[in-house]
């Protein structure tokens, strides 16, 4: 279920970026998925295929890279691997004062587009950002 919402978000980021680049088609997408997000690659792919139909991102290759989970203990200063199911305390000193420093995010790292269409540049569209 979570994957549907996240995939909608991914697709809108991708389509916005493709539009900004005046791309006709999106060829590939590099996606970072943190180990602690709980998102399942196959579900993201499934929803992506479904949602991208009829958009410039249809048929794009989805490359998913897993980011390992990492935690930092604010009591003893240890940095440790955090894998789900997440333990709410430090594995070294049992302190509950831990902070997740990696693996909790999911985002589009980059996209590859087909922009062979000639840029007219006459539409007066300011570049994004
Ligand atoms: Zn600790």
Q: Where are the domains of the chain?
A: 2-69+103-114
Q: What pLDDT shows up at residue 88?
A: 85
The answer to whether the beta carbons of residues 69 and 81 sit under 8 Å apart is: yes
Region of residue 54 (phi > 0: left; psi between -120 and 50: alpha; otherwise: beta): left
Report the 10 Å Cβ neighbour count for 120.
8
Residues 56, 40: Cα–Cα separation, whole Å:
24
- Domain 2-69+103-114 sits in CATH at 3.30.2320.50
Q: What pLDDT shows up at residue 117?
A: 55
Which residues are found with C-beta within 5 Å of the ion, ligand 1? 73, 75-76, 78, 90, 92-93, 95
Kindly give the distance from the C-alpha atom of residue 94 to the centroid of ligand 1, in angstroms, as a whole number.
6
Kindly give the distance from the C-alpha atom of residue 67 to the centroid of ligand 1, in angstroms, as a whole number.
22
Question: What would you report as the CA-atom Rg of the chain, rounded to the nearest whole angstrom?
Answer: 19
**Structure tokens belonging to residue 90:** 């430090």
> What residue ranges of the chain have pLDDT lower than 50?
121-124
Residues facing residue 33 across a β-bridge: 66, 106
**Structure tokens belonging to residue 82:** 């955090």
Kindly give the distance from the C-alpha atom of residue 86 to the centroid of ligand 1, in angstroms, as a whole number.
15
Kindly give the distance from the C-alpha atom of residue 32 to the centroid of ligand 1, in angstroms, as a whole number.
28
Q: What pLDDT shows up at residue 125?
A: 54
Kindly give the distance from the C-alpha atom of residue 65 to the centroid of ligand 1, in angstroms, as a whole number.
29
Q: What pLDDT shows up at residue 87?
A: 77
Region of residue 103 (phi > 0: left; psi between -120 and 50: alpha; otherwise: beta): left
Kindly give the distance from the C-alpha atom of residue 81 to the centroid of ligand 1, in angstroms, as a whole number.
12
Q: What pLDDT shows up at residue 112?
A: 96
């Amino acid at each position: 279920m979570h994957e549907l919402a996240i995939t909608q978000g991914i697709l809108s980021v991708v389509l916005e970026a493709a539009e900004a680049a005046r791309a006709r088609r999106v060829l590939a997408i590099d996606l970072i998925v943190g180990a602690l997000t709980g998102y399942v690659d196959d579900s993201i792919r499934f929803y992506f295929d479904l949602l991208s139909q009829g958009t410039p991102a249809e048929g794009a290759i989805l490359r998913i890279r897993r980011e390992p989970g990492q935690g930092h203990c604010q009591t003893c200063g240890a940095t440790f691997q955090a894998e789900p199911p997440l333990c709410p305390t430090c594995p070294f000193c049992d302190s509950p004062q831990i902070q997740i420093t990696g693996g909790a995010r999911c985002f589009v790292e980059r996209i590859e587009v087909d922009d062979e269409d000639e840029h007219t540049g006459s539409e007066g569209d300011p570049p994004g950002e």
